[in-house]
Amino acid sequence: MKVVSVVGTRPQFVKVAPVSNALRGRGIHHLIVHTGQHYDPLLSQAFFDDLAIPPPLVNLGVGSASHPVQTAAILAGVAEVLAAERPDWVLVYGDTNSALGAALAAAQLRFPSAHLEAGLRSGDRRMPEERNRVVADHLCDLLLAPSQAAVRNLGAEGLAARTVLTGDVMADALAAMRARQAADPPALPAALRDGPFLLATLHRAETTDDPQRLAAILAGLAASPLPVKLLTHPRLADRAARSGLPLEAGAVQPMGPLPYPVMIAALQASRGLVTDSGGLQKEALLLGVPCTTVRPVTEWPETLDAGWNVLVGDPAGLAAALSRPRPAGDPPQPYGDGRAADRIAARLAGQRPVTGAPA
């Protein structure tokens, strides 16, 4: 049996690591296609190295481009690989252009496809990620849902018959990394060892491509009561420079992206996270770190329970959100038992899955 995984961005590399291990553990031939959507070494190759992901069969090298151009290049490149490899399953991940392009290629060539992280909905069709995830769900033959909320969303769209609740593979990856770090903790950069701090990431187009919104968010971060270590995505650096917006101001201290093991250690060491990322909202919840999401909606509603994640659509409310107290008690754990990848591998292979409730 042969499975082709199509990945191209930082969160997808995290997700493919446990899936690759689970597929190999069940004797399934697994090939990885890297679209090249993320190409900075710290956002790409570092993840393959740190998570011991097998090298990709091919890197399509699509790089940066507009959504239509990038998706078209991914569609064409993945279609060529699928025609040559003829897999039993094509596995697509999340809500990126890589996921959409791969789902389209599989559907057009009539190869069975499965969507990992199916069923997420923010309700905002203006977001390219929302459009991508909705179309991928309706194209794919098997929908691998990470949570009960995702299952309900798919059922409401008439997709219940294709849906399987697996739990979330990012919980698998995080559990494995925490076990590894318990025995061999990574060293934090010096800039993260000089006292309490908040961690911040900004990369989505709706954040970075509107100069007024970006300026307002940066101003809110600058007024933070704690230093803000801003991990600077290439898109953020480019858009800020084009708009003449300095990243280093007030409390904000820009840094480069961090390798995954160091990122997890930094998140654990922080007093809180400010982000527009979807995956980091989950990672913060799983680690018990308060999160402030600079978006009006989230595709991960479970993170909002008990105030562990707070949405800030209007940057004017950012300062107040950053000053809120830490929630009492332990955070909810809605994303499964750390065995989602094995359930996914079993389902693709038609084998008996692990026992236990996924979420």
Please count the other Cβ atoms lying within 10 Å of the Cβ belonging to residue 138: 16
d(CA 27, CA 29): 7
Q: Which of 328, 258, 253, 262 is nearest to 290 (CA)?
A: 328
d(CA 76, CA 104): 10
Residues 30, 38, 203, 233: which is the catalytic one?
203
Residue 203 bears catalytic tag: yes
**DSSP sequence for 304-350:** GGGGSEEE-SSGGGHHHHHTSPPPSSPPP--S-SS-HHHHHHHHHHT
126 CB burial (10 A radius; 0-12, 13-18, 19+): exposed
Instruction: Say what angle helices 169-183 and 260-269 make with each other, to 10 degrees.
Output: 80
d(CA 149, CA 306): 17
Quick one: the chain helix, strand, coil %, rounded to 5?
45, 15, 40
- Catalytic center residues: 203
